[in-house]
């Protein structure tokens, strides 16, 4: 059975001794961040931190929820993160049925997805308390780094609705708290919610927005997933948790939010209103600068009777978001293979903080194949943000960065094998000359053929004779080791 809510997951983590409770008073201004940063950089990502007593608020704070590979697997209820990708692959690679029995089997496998559709409910834990006089200062919202422009809500699930199609979207965007009733809304220009925002602006209408804080782990993770435009993240969450997500209509709008949320902020955005947002110490390890972003007005706060406030602290890797990024790498690899079946594996190194580097191994079939993959990936959704794409042969284990680096640095002719291009870059990229547009590089580190201009034979890789290896293995103890 899927986790019923966030606290159900936390109870399991405590039972497995993966959660540490801090009972002394702690300050949400910088102190919680420093404690969390040290924990997230400890062995294997450390433990989940549960702060029972937070200065200025009666609500406990929990951080580092997803900050290890083990906890990401527990969150998605799998033994290995690749298991989710295999489920996706099975769903999309159904072979055409040949017999009546196979037709029936395929039919039931395909309609199984209907059970993942969100389920509407009337009574919800997230609406146990309804406050029509909202005050954000009552929440234990963190200030994480010294030069941050203020406190930021860092793990929000932001729900918006397309004014034309009526379809909902859920994304995760930081929220700079200005005062008791307003925050910034850091919508990147390339994101789905920003597209909804532009549509409301063109229509000249006020935009309803609701923000859920805290839910079961599959729902929280789904808010970060790079899904195609128009795909409901709550359906994907249902797929991950193998059961529908229960949704409830908000008090002040038609937007629906997860019924098991801890806290919900209901409000609106006036598309004509912008305000300085930032700076903020982001997952790149640098401060993102002040810029103009929409303003979210809170008109109602609903919550459980005794809510828990989850937050994430981002900064220099490795931190919690790195493990969420690695989950995305494994889960969405099969979708890349649907477009490029020649892809064997992919590694998005933590040091590249999601978009800065992608290493791809392929089954090379023809001259220029590596460069074809580079250009193709730059045209695939959020892969367009990749500043560096390295393509290697199928016999290279891209998860072994040392061996990969050895192969790349030895196999590349920098004049022949490098592509320099321009295109969209991530909103948080600070190295480009202008915001959201900059240079990127592709490196084709595959073995080259005569057809690719190689004027001599590619050398053989050094390998020991198998009989000698077996002999040395048998005599190893004789050598005194």
Span 48-68, average pLDDT: 97
Query: Residue 191: its pLDDT value, please?
Result: 78
Looking at the chain, the whole-number percentage of residues with pLDDT higher than 90 is 73
DSSP state of 5: S
Specify whether domain 6-310 bears CATH 2.60.40.1240: no
* Confidence band, pLDDT 50/70/90 cuts, at residue 93: low
Q: Is the pLDDT of residue 174 over 60?
A: yes
| Cβ(375)–Cβ(444) below 8 Å | no
**pLDDT tens track for 20-32:** 999 999 999 999 9
Span 332-361, average pLDDT: 89
In the three-class reduction of DSSP (H, G, I as helix; E, B as strand; rest coil), residue 156 is classed as strand
> Of 37, 148, 282, 345, which residue is the catalytic one?
282
Return d(Cα 311, Cα 143) in angstroms, integer. Answer: 11
* Confidence band, pLDDT 50/70/90 cuts, at residue 119: very high
Query: Residue 21: its pLDDT value, please?
Result: 97
Q: What is the largest CA-CA distance in the chain?
A: 83
| Cβ(385)–Cβ(355) below 8 Å | yes
Which tokens sit at 144? 């994480």
* Confidence band, pLDDT 50/70/90 cuts, at residue 227: confident
Q: Is the pLDDT of residue 87 over 80?
A: yes
Query: Residue 344: its pLDDT value, please?
Result: 95
Q: Which residue, among 425, 429, 428, 409, has the nearest Cα to 417 in the 3D structure?
A: 409
**pLDDT tens track for 257-315:** 999 999 999 999 999 999 999 999 998 889 999 999 999 999 999 999 999 999 999 99
Query: Residue 92: its pLDDT value, please?
Result: 65
Which residue has tokens 């200030």? 143
Which range of 95-99, 189-193, 293-297, 459-463 scores highest in mean pLDDT? It is: 293-297
pTM above 0.75, yes or no: yes
Span 347-360, average pLDDT: 88
Q: Which residue, among 329, 398, 60, 371, has the nearest Cα to 214 in the 3D structure?
A: 60
* Confidence band, pLDDT 50/70/90 cuts, at residue 74: very high
Q: Residue 377 to residues 332, 336, 381: CA-CA distances in angstroms?
A: 13, 8, 8
Q: Which residue, among 89, 96, 171, has the nearest Cα to 343 in the 3D structure?
A: 89
Which tokens sit at 65? 């929820």
Query: Residue 56: its pLDDT value, please?
Result: 95
Q: Is the pLDDT of residue 372 over 60?
A: yes
Query: Residue 294: its pLDDT value, please?
Result: 95
| Cβ(360)–Cβ(389) below 8 Å | yes
State yes or no: is 232 an active-site residue. Answer: no
In sequence order, what DSSP letters do the residues of 196-258 get, joined into one string? HHHHHHHHT--EEEEEEE---HHHHHHTT--PPTT--HHHHHHHHHTSPPEEEE-SSSS-EEE
Q: What is the mean pLDDT of the chain?
A: 91
Give start-end residues of each CATH 3.40.1670.10 domain in the chain: 340-452
Query: Residue 231: its pLDDT value, please?
Result: 82
Query: Residue 121: its pLDDT value, please?
Result: 95
Which tokens sit at 28? 């949400």
Query: Residue 338: its pLDDT value, please?
Result: 82
Q: Is the pLDDT of residue 228 over 80?
A: no
| Cβ(9)–Cβ(3) below 8 Å | yes
Query: Residue 106: its pLDDT value, please?
Result: 64
Return d(Cα 319, Cα 310) in angstroms, integer. Answer: 15
Span 386-398, average pLDDT: 94
Which residue has tokens 């929990």? 62
Query: Residue 202: its pLDDT value, please?
Result: 93
* Confidence band, pLDDT 50/70/90 cuts, at residue 107: low
Span 424-440, average pLDDT: 84
| Cβ(52)–Cβ(61) below 8 Å | no
Query: For the domain bounded by 340-452, which CATH number is listed?
Result: 3.40.1670.10
| Cβ(335)–Cβ(159) below 8 Å | no
Span 395-414, average pLDDT: 94
* Confidence band, pLDDT 50/70/90 cuts, at residue 438: confident
Span 146-162, average pLDDT: 96
| Cβ(241)–Cβ(117) below 8 Å | no
Give start-end residues of each CATH 2.30.110.10 domain in the chain: 6-310
Which range of 1-5, 44-48, 335-339 scores highest in mean pLDDT? It is: 44-48
Contacts of 462 (CB under 8 A, 6+ apart): none
């Amino acid at each position: 059975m899927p986790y019923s809510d966030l606290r159900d997951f936390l109870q399991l983590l405590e039972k497995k001794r993966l959660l540490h409770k801090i009972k002394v008073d702690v300050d949400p201004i910088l102190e919680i961040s420093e404690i969390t940063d040290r924990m997230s950089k400890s062995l294997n990502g450390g433990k989940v931190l549960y702060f029972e007593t937070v200065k200025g608020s009666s609500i406990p704070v929990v951080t580092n929820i997803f900050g290890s590979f083990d906890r990401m697997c527990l969150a998605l209820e799998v033994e290995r993160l690749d298991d989710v990708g295999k489920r996706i692959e099975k769903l999309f690679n159904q072979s055409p049925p040949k017999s009546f029995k196979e037709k029936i089997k395929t039919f039931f496998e395909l309609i199984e997805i209907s059970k993942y559709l969100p389920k509407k409910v009337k009574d919800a834990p997230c609406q146990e308390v309804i406050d029509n006089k909202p005050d954000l200062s009552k929440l234990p919202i963190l200030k994480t780094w010294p030069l941050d422009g203020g406190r930021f809500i860092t793990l929000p699930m932001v729900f918006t609705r397309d004014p034309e199609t009526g379809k909902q979207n859920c994304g995760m965007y930081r929220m700079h708290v200005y005062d008791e009733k307003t925050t910034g809304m850091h919508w990147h220009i390339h994101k789905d919610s920003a597209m909804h925002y532009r549509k409301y602006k063109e229509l000249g209408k006020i935009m309803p927005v609701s923000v859920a804080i805290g839910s079961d782990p599959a729902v929280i993770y789904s808010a970060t997933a790079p899904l195609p435009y128009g795909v409901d993240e709550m359906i994907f969450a249902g797929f991950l948790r193998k059961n529908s997500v229960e949704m409830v209509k908000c008090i002040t709008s038609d937007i629906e939010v997860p019924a098991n949320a801890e806290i919900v902020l209901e409000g609106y955005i006036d598309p004509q209103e912008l305000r300085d947002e930032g700076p903020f110490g982001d997952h790149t390890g640098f401060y993102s600068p002040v810029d103009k972003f929409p303003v979210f007005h809170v008109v109602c706060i609903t919550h459980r009777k005794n809510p828990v406030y989850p937050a994430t602290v981002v900064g220099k890797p490795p931190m919690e978001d790195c493990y969420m990024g690695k989950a995305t790498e494994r889960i969405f690899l099969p979708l890349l293979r649907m477009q490029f079946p020649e892809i064997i594996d992919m590694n998005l190194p933590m040091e590249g903080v999601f978009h800065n580097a992608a290493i791809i191994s392929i089954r090379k079939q023809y001259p220029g194949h590596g460069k074809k993959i580079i250009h193709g990936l730059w045209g695939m959704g959020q892969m367009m943000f990749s500043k560096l794409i390295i393509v290697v042969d199928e016999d290279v284990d891209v998860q072994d960065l040392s061996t990969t680096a050895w192969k790349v640095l030895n196999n590349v002719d920098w004049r022949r094998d490098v592509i320099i291009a321009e295109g969209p870059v991530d909103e948080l990229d600070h190295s480009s000359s202008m915001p959201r547009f900059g240079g990127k590089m592709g490196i084709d580190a595959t073995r080259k053929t005569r057809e690719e201009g190689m004027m001599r034979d590619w050398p053989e890789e050094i390998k020991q004779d198998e009989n000698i290896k077996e002999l040395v293995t048998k005599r190893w103890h004789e050598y005194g080791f």
